[in-house]
Structure 1
Amino acid sequence: MNTVPMMWVLPVTGPEMDRGRTCYVCQFGSAPVVAAFMDPNLQERDNYIGYVQLLCEKNPVLQGFIVLLSGPNEELIRELKALAAKKNLSVPLTVLDPEVGLPSGIPLSKEENLTILFYRKRFFEKKLEITPDGSTKITTYLGSETPTEEIILPKITKTGNSFRYEGYLQRYEGLPQAFMEMDSAVHEMINRE
């Protein structure tokens, strides 16, 4: 089923911070939403948080939230609050509620460091998964009970004795290709009737 389930998280930043459990799926209702789920130790964590913020700034109807796949701990909360202040983030940064966890209807797997879900009217539309080896799987849920998948593998070229890595995180006009895919998914979702 492609329906987005209720999901309770603990907001660390944003208007709901320090109020206890919050369900952004419930709050955002039928709006188009980008939800990023990431390992708190992801090397590019702060950059991806910035990319989600940029998507929401570029598209005023888009709602967003970020879930760090960890329970609350003082060090992580301090880091996230400092990052939100430094980058003037409006997208809420959240952590998992250890009493509730993630619902089984959220399509995450253990192999990904980062999963970005795009949904509208509480139905999944697209999912980007970026793995530690740099490959990316794009899953499209629209118009079908069976999602379609496309895998983009990193490209490694050898020159002499050195290797050059080019993949989904390759820079393009100052932003990684992953951001371009995120932006494209948002535009498809927002512009659909």
Structure 2
Amino acid sequence: MKSICVYCGSSPGASPAYADAARQLAREMVKNNIALVYGGGNVGLMGIIATEIMQLGGEATGVIPKALLDKELGHHGLTRLHIVKDMHERKAMMAELADGFVAMPGGMGTLEELFEVLTWAQLGFHYKPISLYNTEGFYDNLIAFVDHLVSQRFVSSDQSGLMMHESDPARLIERFKTFTPSYKTKWADREAVANLLP
């Protein structure tokens, strides 16, 4: 585990606990020699975790579209900052650079990025660990909704396990370091079901 892509809000959120959680995760990453890959911003939780990583002597790689950089949202104190043409290129590069994915508290963009890498894992496009950093129970309702998807047979229980969740950053990092893919892709499951049909 050399690098983790962290998805998180461009806002600090309503609770100071979110910023504290970002700093705690940064400390665990640096302690374990794990570099940060993220969206390249200098605002909100994005800026907090990146700045903490750098201050602790770690490495942080940002990936930001030129349109956002031009609005002075880019973090210029990083190990490296990739400037890309659009959000699609940004997400693809972040995914390529990372060995795993963590979703901290955030908004629509964070959720979109999370579900994209979950879908890619479900389809077998990658086999990297994915986890919610569920500080202050931020993602409790989402975890419950995924359970609902399973109960309604839109997601298999095996595939729901693609989305791990931890509130302790040390435990989260340990699970990533020992992660071994143990699930079937969506298509493999479909083939197994098809074999049972007459």
Q: Which has the higher strand share?
A: 1
Please confirm whether the aligned pair reaches a TM-score higher than 0.5, indicating the same fold: no
TM-score w.r.t. the length of structure 1 is 0.39
